[in-house]
Amino acid sequence: MPNPTPVSLQITLNGDPYEIEGDPRLAALLERLNMKSSRVAVEINQRIIPKAEFAATEIKAGDSVEIINFVGGG
């Protein structure tokens, strides 16, 4: 799969405005946020995205992205 064209777009991330610069794929967003894909659950526009689709899922302008980060501890 070819890399998407770098972009600049506005989304809503966990309820707040957020601007994506560059690669619009979900995996790239998680990397920019320093989140491990193995420790998160992601919903885009109220649709849960399977981890197997993170690399191929492109985020589009106006999307609402919710990321839940699982943190261990005791």
The residue-averaged pLDDT of 41-65 equals: 97
CA gap 29, 21 in Å, rounded: 9
Show the domains of the chain with their CATH numbers.
7-69 (3.10.20.30)
Judge whether residue 1 has pLDDT over 60: no
pLDDT at 72 > cutoff 80: no
Place of tokens 């972009």: 7
Quick one: 29 exposed, middle or buried, by C-beta within 10 A (0-12, 13-18, 19+)? Answer: buried
Phi, psi of 29 (to 5 degrees): -60, -45
Beta strand 64-69 pairing with 7-13: parallel
- pTM of the entire predicted model: 0.86
How far apart (Å, rounded) are the C-alpha atoms in residues 69 and 13?
Answer: 13
Residue-level pLDDT at 71? 79
